[in-house]
Amino acid sequence: MKKEQQMKKEQHNKKEPQAKNVQHSKKGLQNNTQHKKDPQSKGQYKKGQQPNRGQQTAKLELKQTFPLTIKRLGINGEGVGYFKRQVVFVPGALPGEEIVAEATKVHPKFAEAKIKKIRKQSEHRIKPLCPVFDQCGGCQLQHLGYDQQLNEKRDIVIQALERHTKLKIDELDIRPTIGMENPWGYRNKSQFQVGEKDGKVLAGLYGLNSHNLINIEQCAVQHPSTTKATEVVKGILQDLKIPIYNEKKHKGLVRTIVARTGVQTGELQIVLITTKKELPKKDIIIQEIKKRLPEVNSIVQNINGEKTSVIFGSETATLEGSDFIQETLGDLQFELSARTFFQLNPEQTVKLYNEAKAAARLTGKEKLVDAYCGVGTIGLWMADEAGEVRGMDVIPESIEDAKKNADKHGVKHAKFYLGKAEELLPKWLKEGWRPDVIVVDPPRTGCDEEFLKTVLKIKPKTFVYVSCNPSTLAKDIMTLGSQYKVEYIQPVDMFPHTSQIESVTRLELK
């Protein structure tokens, strides 16, 4: 994966809830969108709880305090309650709690509030491990016991199905969430913004709903080696008095420190994202990084001079060492360059891919399509039990890397094609090739509408949907519902202590 990969616009906004303030990206590329609330949670009601439109809803006023019982968690991890038939979202509140709330925003269909007082506390409330948990906002659920997090995340999937489908939820097989034995220190990559205050270099993430930089010296969900690396590089910038980027003035040089580790290989990559190519004291910076972090295999500079919240720019240069680091998943090995997309939680990724493989129920004869294939991870993961694998993606670099990965692992019956599934699948059908199984792992926006229409025409016997967004999963299930039935849904917790939830859904042709 030495070649630079180009981002698939915002549609590939996926998979990486940055512990604290993140950027998600998908399939081949950079993880860069800031953590934002999912607007689909607003106005979200469970069946039977939606206000009666024929009855007048009492409108809350700004700063009004009122009693509120929290009924459930919303898809952004906030508590959800109802005050005189008006839905209210309260960050930090937990199901079963009775609180005094203060309205912070009042919208026509819902309100937002903060906790003034907890009258009755949830038995599952715990003390957050992170000292800046309430400031940073990336880990929305550290105050909730982990076993209960798994229960609530399953419920978030159920809520999405209730809102966006007509399925009989009680008759669905929605399985218990698969979690981690040790749900800490799992993130293999950090992207910390750099700033300066009172002459001191800071590195961290912007606070929840603000542009105040929260200095993070320890992050409970980051792999320890990435935290150490960021602190060391921050110290080097401080010692050498390297100009630090000021976001408000749009001046300065170093704007982001990216650290990624190969959890299985122990390799470490440092990326300095700068506003200009010229890096003062570059040789000294490299020497100091090598001296203080001898485990570093790759030192890279990326240039991003734009006034933007996107982290990576288009130009990247290797300053020292390799262009990439190595990482393994199961029996597969991958080369990770600075902007290559790779799952942030390798341990859970193995579980997720194994669930997808189990859902495909391969016998060794099936023709399998890996749509949105990226660098081919899922297709190659399933290849040993499939008769033939064909993957496609619209990013040329991803397809090149997928082909290299197949060659490297000796997988001769897996082929990867540049193009859209909705164009390639009909072409293959005319040539007499019809897939038995289609597996898809789309961005947060879900599957493309034309792709789903194509699936309904091609009619594979099995459709395996790997999802990172319950709302778009539910909508896509509804679209496929005329010809496909849901056999089961298996939630998988890829990002403990956040509100994010992945799932694997097996759909069968009726």
Q: How confident is the model at residue 40, as a pLDDT?
A: 44
**Cβ neighbours around 509 below 10 Å, total:** 12
Cα 333 from chain centroid (whole Å)? 21
d(CA 440, CA 373): 8
The answer to whether the beta carbons of residues 298 and 324 sit under 8 Å apart is yes
CA atoms within 13 A on the CB side of 211: 5
- The whole-model pTM stands at 0.86
- CA 451-457-463 angle, 5° bins: 65
Name the phi and psi angles at 476, rounded to 5: -70, -35
Tokens (6 digits) for 64: 């009004």
Kind of pairing between the strands at 213-215 and 200-206: antiparallel
d(CA 348, CA 494): 6
Tokens (6 digits) for 290: 């090598």
Please name the amino acid found at residue 362: L
Tokens (6 digits) for 349: 């990724």
Kind of pairing between the strands at 462-467 and 502-509: antiparallel
Element (H, E) at 430: helix 421-430
Q: Which residues pair with 12 in a beta bridge?
A: none
d(CA 476, CA 499): 21
Between helix 470-480 and helix 146-164 the angle, nearest 10°, is: 40
d(CA 24, CA 463): 25
Name the phi and psi angles at 210, rounded to 5: -150, 175
The answer to whether the beta carbons of residues 71 and 51 sit under 8 Å apart is no
**Cβ neighbours around 26 below 10 Å, total:** 24
Please name the amino acid found at residue 436: D
d(CA 369, CA 414): 10
Q: Which residues contact 158 (CB under 8 A, 6 or more apart)?
A: 169, 174
At 11, is the secondary structure helix, strand, or coil?
A: helix
At 349, is the secondary structure helix, strand, or coil?
A: helix
Can you give the length of the chain in residues?
510
Q: Is 468 a catalytic residue?
A: yes
User: Which of 139, 373, 447, 468 is labelled catalytic?
Assistant: 468
Q: Which residues of 152-164 are buried (b: 16+ CB within 10 A; e: fewer)?
A: bbbbbbbbbbbbb
CA neighbor of 81 nearest in space, from 115, 126, 31: 115
Q: How confident is the model at residue 257, as a pLDDT?
A: 98
d(CA 53, CA 108): 13
Beginning with the edge strand found earlier in the chain, give each strand of the sheet holding 388-393 in spatial order. Answer: 414-418, 388-393, 367-371, 437-440, 462-467, 502-509, 484-492
The answer to whether the beta carbons of residues 382 and 373 sit under 8 Å apart is no
At 406, is the secondary structure helix, strand, or coil?
A: helix
Element (H, E) at 274: strand 268-274
Q: Which residues pair with 90 in a beta bridge?
A: 79
d(CA 147, CA 150): 5
Cα 141 from chain centroid (whole Å)? 15
The answer to whether the beta carbons of residues 439 and 451 sit under 8 Å apart is no
Element (H, E) at 191: strand 189-197
d(CA 313, CA 301): 10
CA quadruple 486, 488, 492, 498: dihedral positive or negative?
positive
Averages of pLDDT over runs of 10 residues in the chain (510 residues) are: 37 44 34 39 45 55 96 94 95 97 94 97 96 87 98 96 95 98 96 94 87 90 96 97 92 96 95 96 97 97 92 94 93 88 92 98 98 93 98 91 93 96 96 97 94 96 97 97 97 97 98
Please name the amino acid found at residue 48: G
